[in-house]
């Protein structure tokens, strides 16, 4: 049985569709319930719903052989896993945003609110800018509005949240999409099964593009 960690939420549903089309279906997952684990002995897969930022932990520690996580989460937590495939799903970008009238004069330490302290630190180190990280867990857009920070480093998908809160993108950091990741020892010991899933998904992703 291959254990597969799916990110709970809209992205997870789309990702499951892809597994299903690749021939690794598990019909019980479609039933409305609060269950977290679903398996199909015929196709040899067991799926479970995991909080998106926890997927790399399950995969790194081998509780899952495979998982799907956003590039943002992979870069932030730098798990010791293999990244097998860009699924081209859940596309968005990591960006710096601030109030429209904010201009960084570079005279004092920049206060940066984010859920992604490592990504933010790496970005600002790269451009040689001194920052003070304010780690938040959600509703990041509030920080510059209330004067808690000068800027935010956050995910922008449609741009609606920024627009509706009178903020704007000041710089793009990197594009994000969902990646198929594998536990390192599973990749060796279940090479055939993992290889088959990856190949099939690669074909689907290519034709969908």
Subset of 94-113 contacting ligand PRP (CB under 6 A):
none
* 2 contacts 44 by C-beta, under 8 angstroms: yes
Does 150 sit near ligand PRP (CB under 6 A)?
A: no
H-type alpha helices, 103-180: 117-126, 142-145, 160-164
Judged by CB under 6 A, the number of residues near ligand PRP is 12
Contacts of residue 25, Cβ cutoff 8 Å, sequence gap at least 6: 19, 40, 43
- Report the residue closest to ligand PRP, judged by CB: 138
Per CB under 6 A, 185 contacts ligand PRP = no
**97 within 8 A of 170, measured Cβ to Cβ:** yes
Q: How far is CA 134 from the centre of its chain?
A: 20
For the bound state, the minimum distance from the C-beta of residue 153 to ligand PRP, rounded and expressed in Å, comes to: 10
Give the nearest distance from C-beta 52 to ligand PRP in angstroms. 9
User: What is the distance between the alpha carbons of residues 38 and 182, in angstroms, rounded to a whole number?
Assistant: 19
Q: Which is nearer to ligand PRP, 157 or 208 (CB)?
A: 157
Residue choice 160, 206, 207, 209 for contact with ligand PRP (CB under 6 A): 160
First to last CA, the chain: 30
Instruction: Tell which one of 40, 53, 122, 161 touches ligand PRP (CB under 6 A).
Output: 161
Residue choice 45, 69, 140, 197 for contact with ligand PRP (CB under 6 A): 140
Residue 159 as a binder of ligand PRP (CB under 6 A): the answer is yes
Is 121 a binder of ligand PRP (CB under 6 A)?
Answer: no
CA distance 140 to 95: 12
Is 33 an interacting residue with respect to ligand PRP (CB under 6 A)?
no
**How far apart are the C-alpha atoms of 195 and 58, rounded to whole Å?**
20
Per CB under 6 A, which region of 11-19, 41-49, 156-164, 198-206 contacts ligand PRP? 156-164
3-state SS, residue 37 = strand
Residues within the interface to ligand PRP (CB under 6 A): 138-141, 154-161
């Amino acid at each position: 049985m291959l254990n597969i960690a799916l990110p709970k939420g809209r992205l997870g549903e789309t990702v499951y569709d892809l597994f299903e089309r690749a021939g690794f279906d598990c019909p019980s997952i479609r039933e409305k319930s609060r269950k977290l684990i679903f398996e199909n002995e015929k196709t040899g897969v067991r799926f479970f719903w995991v909080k998106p930022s926890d997927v790399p932990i399950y995969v790194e520690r081998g509780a899952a052989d495979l998982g799907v996580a956003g590039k943002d989460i992979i870069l932030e937590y730098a798990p010791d896993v293999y990244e097998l495939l860009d699924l081209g799903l859940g596309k968005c970008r990591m960006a710096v945003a601030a109030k429209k009238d904010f201009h960084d004069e570079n005279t004092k330490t920049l206060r940066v609110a984010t859920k992604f302290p490592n990504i933010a630190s790496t970005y600002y180190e790269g451009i040689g800018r001194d920052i003070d990280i304010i780690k938040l867990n959600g509703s990041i857009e509030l920080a510059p509005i209330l004067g808690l920070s000068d800027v935010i480093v956050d995910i922008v998908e449609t741009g609606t949240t920024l627009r509706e809160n009178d903020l704007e993108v000041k710089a793009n950091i990197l594009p994000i999409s969902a990646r198929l990741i594998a536990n390192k020892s599973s990749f060796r010991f279940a090479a055939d099964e993992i290889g088959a899933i990856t190949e099939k998904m690669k074909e689907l992703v290519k034709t969908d593009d």
